[in-house]
A and B are shown apart, each in its own frame.
Chain A
Amino acid sequence: SQQGEEDPQALSIQEGENATMNCSYKTSINNLQWYRQNSGRGLVHLILIRSNEREKHSGRLRVTLDTSKKSSSLLITASRAADTASYFCASGHSNTGKLIFGQGTTLQVKP
């Protein structure tokens, strides 16, 4: 199985609610990144958290990292219809410099 498995695969919420997405990975990382993709478009970088960090904020985004559990979560607070997109975690590996992407979580925010 692959690195960066995400859960849930799909999430549907009402505008104003919070959305939480989780990601797990298998081997050591130097950072973990979250990206967003609108339908049929390229990925846009949202936030990067380094392996020695536990929590990071950017606007309405909050990312946590638990290296002991090899997991990360992305929280979007006070969601908006414009947040509707697919969200991917990507684990960054120090020995290769590569990013390994998960399958993504599809978020639908209903107005």
Chain B
Amino acid sequence: ETGVTQTPRHLVMGMTNKKSLKCEQHLGHNAMYWYKQSAKKPLELMFVYNFKEQTENNSVPSRFSPECPNSSHLFLHLHTLQPEDSALYLCASSQEGRGESDTQYFGPGTRLTVL
């Protein structure tokens, strides 16, 4: 256990559905991240939050909408997704996301399939 939990672990949704992914960290960290991992591609950073403020949006389509209500919780709201959005979505946290590149602690991921 890394101290970062993600729910659900698996999700199948249609292109017209709306769903949310949840991430929670129990490490007292101030930075949280969403990554997308597709087959045969490097990990793609999607969003970064530092002290609840979004500091990075890596040209992610608007059908992905992050929310960070506090330093321990991070959500990714999904709507009208495409089949190519099927991937493993990983959440991570670190002590602080500015300056020195901290060690990141990852959750187990949500395997998303879009039909």
Contacts and interface: CB of A to CB of B under 8 A. Distances in A.
B101 A42 contact: no
Interface residues of B, number: 28
A44 B2 contact: yes
A98 B42 contact: no
Nearest to A88: B43
B101 A99 contact: yes
B108 A93 contact: no
Contacts of A45: 103-105
A52 interface: no
B100 interface: yes
Contacts of A97: 96-102
Contacts of A103: 40-42
A29 to B, nearest CB: 8
Given A43-B106, A103-B41, A31 B101 contact: yes
A31 B102 CA distance: 9
B4 interface: yes
Contacts of B106: 35, 42-44
Of A29, A30, A97, A98, which is in contact with the most chain B CB atoms at under 10 Å from its CB?
A97
Of B48, B56, B90, B102, which is in contact with the most chain A CB atoms at under 10 Å from its CB?
B102
B109 interface: yes
Of A48, A99, A102, which is in contact with the most chain B CB atoms at under 10 Å from its CB?
A99
A29 B106 CA distance: 21
Give the 4 A-B CB pairs with smallest separation, nearest first. Answer: A92-B101, A42-B106, A101-B43, A43-B106
Interface of B: 2, 4, 6, 40-43, 45, 48, 56, 88, 90, 92, 96-109, 111
15 contacts: A30-B101, A33-B101, A33-B103, A41-B109, A42-B108, A43-B92, A44-B106, A92-B100, A92-B101, A97-B98, A97-B101, A98-B45, A101-B43, A103-B41, A103-B42
